[in-house]
Amino acid sequence: MIQSVLRDRYLILSEIGRGGLSRVYLGKDKNGGGAVAVKVSEQSDEGALKAALNEAEILLRLDNPGVPGFVDYFEEDGRCFVVTECMPGSPVAAGSGLSSVYTGMQLLLILRYLHTLDRPVLHLDIKPGNVLLSPDGRVSLIDFGSSVRSGALSYIRSGTPGYCAPEQLLGKTLDERTDIYGWGMLMRYMLSGDEAGRLSAGGAVPGGLSGVSPEISGRLPEIIDRCTDRDPENRFVDVESLLCEMKKVCSSHEPFFAQGVWEYHSA
Compute the residue count for the chain.
267
CA-based R_g, the chain, Å: 19
| Rounded Cα distance, 254 and 267, in Å | 20
Beta strands 22-29; 5-6: pairing state: unpaired
Alpha helices (H) along the chain = 46-59, 97-115, 166-169, 176-192, 214-227, 239-251, 255-258, 261-265
Phi, psi (degrees; rounded to nearest 5) at 28? -125, 130
Give the Å distances, CA to CA, from 190 to 243, 251, 255. Answer: 18, 20, 22
Let me know if 125 is a catalytic residue. yes
| Rounded Cα distance, 72 and 247, in Å | 38
At residue 15, the 3 state secondary structure works out as strand
Catalytic residue of the set 63, 118, 125, 143:
125
Q: For residue 50, give every residue at least 6 positions away whose Cβ sits within 8 Å of its Cβ, in sequence order, or none.
A: 156
Q: Which residues are catalytic?
A: 125
